[in-house]
Amino acid sequence: MQITLTKLGQVYLPNYIRKELNLEPGDNIYIFVDNKAIILAKEACEKENQCILSNRGTLHIPVEIRRICKITSAMKFNAILNIEDRIIVLSKSD
C-alpha cells in the first residue's frame, strides 16, 4: 500500500490499519527512524518522537524526522503493517 505525505507533513492511516493495531483518535503514536525508514508504533520505543492520532486518522510527521529522512511534501511511502511487532513501517517509494 502507498501513503502520501501532505504539504503539512501529515500521513493518513487507513481505517483497516487503525483497526488492526487498535488505534483510536487521541492515541499517542511513537515515531522513530530506522535505516531511513519511519517506524510508527503504539508502544513506546527508544529514541522516539510522538504524535497524536487525529479523529480523521492522520498523523503529523515531525519536522526533524522529515529532515533526517530527506522527506518532501507529496512524497509517497510504501506502508507495511507488521502485526507481530504492532508497528507500521513507512519507506520511501521509488
Q: Which residues contact 40 (CB under 8 A, 6 or more apart)?
A: 13, 29, 30, 31, 59, 87, 88, 89, 90
* Predicted local distance difference test score (pLDDT) of residue 35: 80
* Predicted local distance difference test score (pLDDT) of residue 24: 92
Q: For 60-89, what is each residue's pLDDT tens digit? A: 888 888 888 888 888 899 999 988 888 999
pLDDT band for position 45 (50/70/90)?
Answer: low
**Rounded CA separation 5/60 (Å):** 9
CATH number of residue 22's parent domain: 3.40.1550.20
> Could you tell me if 56 and 12 are in contact, meaning their C-beta atoms sit under 8 angstroms apart?
yes
| CA-atom Rg of the chain in angstroms | 12
Q: For 12-44, what is each residue's pLDDT tens digit? A: 999 999 998 899 999 989 988 888 788 898 876
User: pLDDT exceeding 70 applies to what percent of the chain?
Assistant: 94
Question: Count of domains in the chain?
Answer: 1
| Residue numbers of the domain that contains 36 | 2-92
